Structure 1
């Protein structure tokens, strides 16, 4: 007799929304500046983890808290471990919201709030999949560990500590991407371009400051520059024409002997930067079109942006463009900009790269292309190498079969620039919960998940767990 996973999941609809709302209400952005021994990654991530584990304890599941940076919910028995790897941290809310980011707002079929799609909603769906399996008393011949990390959007310290101190799953999936499956992920690395300071010389206009971006995996929505000295009288009319041509919005605020310019573009996940309008590069381009006699440092900084980074996402002008037949093209997204006359003058570029290169080769080429006399380029933070599980692997084949059985849609392998916890397992993939063709809302203002999608995910995950745990 076929198991009606959807009907079993439907009984929990209200509970799922309530528990998701509880988690969304927690601003769980990584915040090590306020770390304590009880909250090593900051109060928000620790609170989100404790809340999720309390939900599982309420429902009589066995749980484990690993150093307050990761945790798990357990079900089943056996020699092997099937891992489900989700995360409870979020990116900053950022500008542009029309709803309250840390409060769920339900409008029709949509649940709005930061983390609803990435990754609290799918993480709750995976949890309720365990409840459905237990309710139906379905046999599991592997241990199932639903593992939650708390800084997937930054350093992955929590999940790294988990893997270093706990028994690791032998296979698994991360509910942190899209269906039908993501069995390949590009390499990921950040590169910081630091401009050498140059000698001052007389100039009619000075770039006093330039900032954009709040996270290395988010295309910046807004950028701000302050100019002093000679400011063209027609600057505002020039901005109006620029905005009309580029779908941006520019505003001006007078300051002592100058003006502050704020340009608003469109955000996007850094794995798909072409979907955004990068406020940092567009503001640099706007200033450059004004024919100003800029100070040397300001001219050099804006020149690097417009010459090598603006209106291009494949790294061609940096000489790092590369396309792999299976993994597709390299993408480059400049995400954090910081300029001070007497301080840092940096640009952080997030690069997603396929097989065929590595972070050191990219760094070397970027520095030599821009000019080692002008800049230093450094690898910033951790590097994630490309990850691929063959389409022929039974893990991939099983998950694709589950997806097709529940949706009636064909399943095929998928490779993306995004990075998920799935890559932490040799036989690890990402699996849902976003449906094919859905709008890209992760890391965006007014992020949401649909109720239909989260309920479908519960049923799909329950069936997948049962099949994989045989």
Structure 2
């Protein structure tokens, strides 16, 4: 069976490449909703393209109100689902190759969404084709469920499950191999500071902005200053400790724009990036702004958040390591004369809770200065390593890799947490760099083929009649 699956996966290689390219070329970042397109037209176009590809392959498909859809094989009362998403985070900057061109270089397809999650979606789709072409008798319906706003709240999957059956078992090819048995809780918080308005004289902050999404480490941030000359600014900055090659200063009319260049990373792994917002605020906090509340805010941020990514100074650091320690990422900031608003993405361990994290933070903030609001909370996911479902996924993975490592835990969040019994499973292999939400995201074509074979074997092991007798 292993040789036959691999043979069929290799025969489908060129089709997989083409399907991945077709999807990646659609910039499916969430836009303003319309009556017809709940998450904007580009996101719908990606969904429509995926269904077009699936229909051409001969599969039954169903579109649920342009919010989500499924592709189905098999029969039976129970459902095994493969949970994928077609939306992507914004592309960011400084790509070596265009983010939506899906160019191939050295056996790699480059582009936003190649690894998160359009390439894996293609792998899941072609895994269904392999199982179908092999004529495997299934005692479950196997559904590839296609969501459209995983990156911005997962509401499309909630809508889908209001209309369709909740799967009995599910895996999501949206993380790493081997099987993921635990995912941290995900908490998005909004911090708001009301300012006194523009002072009549002195150094003013006209604007502060940075970041595209809470679950991305921002790779750029900018501040616009007024009420100061260039010589005065240079003199002030001479006393500040910062990496000068990362800061660009431009004159704009009577103002000065400070642009800080950081390094993007996934919000669940802020240690892999360089948070441009935090680095820029670290500089601004050293400047003598005339607005008293603005100065207090900058000093608060510098002392309680600073360049940390574990939440220690703001009181929410957690030593529990199931799955890993808490992470803290400021993803977006917007400030003008009247207020400052910044959004933080926190990933907390399985044994913790959003209530504990918030309570810990409140002990460290000035409640007269800062308003705190919960935007989103997704509870942790946990399934024991020895669960039979986990073991069947592990067996399929090990058959094609000879890797005998154990199930793992991650800080990222996947669709798996939206179902009654689900886990993440691939597509990133152990030791590979995590490029989701970063520039120069890619999927290796050889890995695309291998993960397709693994998913096909997992479907057969879990839903095949012979394997479930």
TM-score where L is the length of structure 1:
0.94
User: Over residues 296-331 of structure 1, what are the superposed CA-to-partner deviations in whole Å (9 max), with x where a residue is unaligned?
Assistant: 233123222211212111111111111224222111
1:310 to 2:303 alignment: no
Q: In structure 1, what is the equivalent of residue 363 of structure 2? A: 368
Offset at 1:384? Answer: 0.4
SS at structure 2 position matched to 1:139: coil
Could you list the runs of 5+ residues in structure 2 that have no partner in the other structure? none
Change beyond 3 A, Cα 1:201–1:4: same
Change beyond 3 A, Cα 1:232–1:298: farther
Q: In structure 1, what is the equivalent of residue 380 of structure 2? A: 386
Q: In structure 1, what is the equivalent of residue 67 of structure 2? A: 69
Offset at 1:235? Answer: 4.9
Q: Please, which of 255, 269, 273 is the counterpart of residue 272 of structure 1? A: 269
CA contact (8 A) 1:323 1:329 kept: yes
CA contact (8 A) 2:416 2:422 kept: yes
CA contact (8 A) 1:247 1:265 kept: no
Q: In structure 2, what is the equivalent of residue 89 of structure 1? A: 87
Q: Alignment RMSD, CA only?
A: 2.0
SS at structure 1 position matched to 2:171: strand
Offset at 1:248? Answer: 5.8
SS at structure 1 position matched to 2:152: coil
Distance in 2 (alpha carbons) for counterparts of 1:219 and 1:78:
44
CA contact (8 A) 1:201 1:295 kept: yes
Distance in 1 (alpha carbons) for counterparts of 2:280 and 2:366:
23
Distance in 2 (alpha carbons) for counterparts of 1:228 and 1:269:
34
Q: In structure 2, what is the equivalent of residue 23 of structure 1? A: 23
Q: Please, which of 86, 102, 105 is the counterpart of residue 104 of structure 1? A: 102
Distance in 1 (alpha carbons) for counterparts of 2:315 and 2:122:
43
Q: In structure 2, what is the equivalent of residue 440 of structure 1? A: 434
CA contact (8 A) 1:240 1:250 kept: no
Higher deviation after alignment, 37-46 or 16-25: 37-46
* Aligned ranges 1:94-243 → 2 under 5 Å: 94-198=92-196, 204-231=202-229, 233=231, 235=233
Change beyond 3 A, Cα 1:293–1:215: closer
Change beyond 3 A, Cα 1:89–1:242: farther
Distance in 2 (alpha carbons) for counterparts of 1:400 and 1:240:
56
Change beyond 3 A, Cα 1:237–1:433: farther
User: Over residues 193-240 of structure 1, what are the superposed CA-to-partner deviations in whole Å (9 max), with x where a residue is unaligned?
Assistant: 111324766763111111110111111100000111224627569879
Change beyond 3 A, Cα 1:418–1:76: same
Q: In structure 2, what is the equivalent of residue 257 of structure 1? A: 254
Higher deviation after alignment, 317-326 or 354-363: 354-363
User: Over residues 123-175 of structure 1, what are the superposed CA-to-partner deviations in whole Å (9 max), with x where a residue is unaligned?
Assistant: 00000001111111122221101100000000211111111210111011000
Could you list the runs of 5+ residues in structure 1 that have no partner in the other structure? none
Change beyond 3 A, Cα 1:26–1:2: closer
CA contact (8 A) 1:184 1:387 kept: yes
Offset at 1:355? Answer: 3.0
Q: In structure 2, what is the equivalent of residue 460 of structure 1? A: 454
Change beyond 3 A, Cα 1:16–1:295: same
Distance in 2 (alpha carbons) for counterparts of 1:55 and 1:394:
33
Change beyond 3 A, Cα 1:314–1:18: same
Offset at 1:403? Answer: 1.1
Q: In structure 2, what is the equivalent of residue 4 of structure 1? A: 4
Instruction: Give aligned pairs, total.
Output: 464
Offset at 1:25? Answer: 1.1
Q: In structure 2, what is the equivalent of residue 40 of structure 1? A: 38
CA contact (8 A) 1:297 1:341 kept: no
Change beyond 3 A, Cα 1:208–1:187: same
Distance in 1 (alpha carbons) for counterparts of 2:239 and 2:147:
46
Distance in 2 (alpha carbons) for counterparts of 1:272 and 1:435:
17
Change beyond 3 A, Cα 1:238–1:412: farther
Change beyond 3 A, Cα 1:202–1:36: closer
User: Over residues 61-91 of structure 1, what are the superposed CA-to-partner deviations in whole Å (9 max), with x where a residue is unaligned?
Assistant: 1111011110000011122110100000111
Change beyond 3 A, Cα 1:463–1:263: same
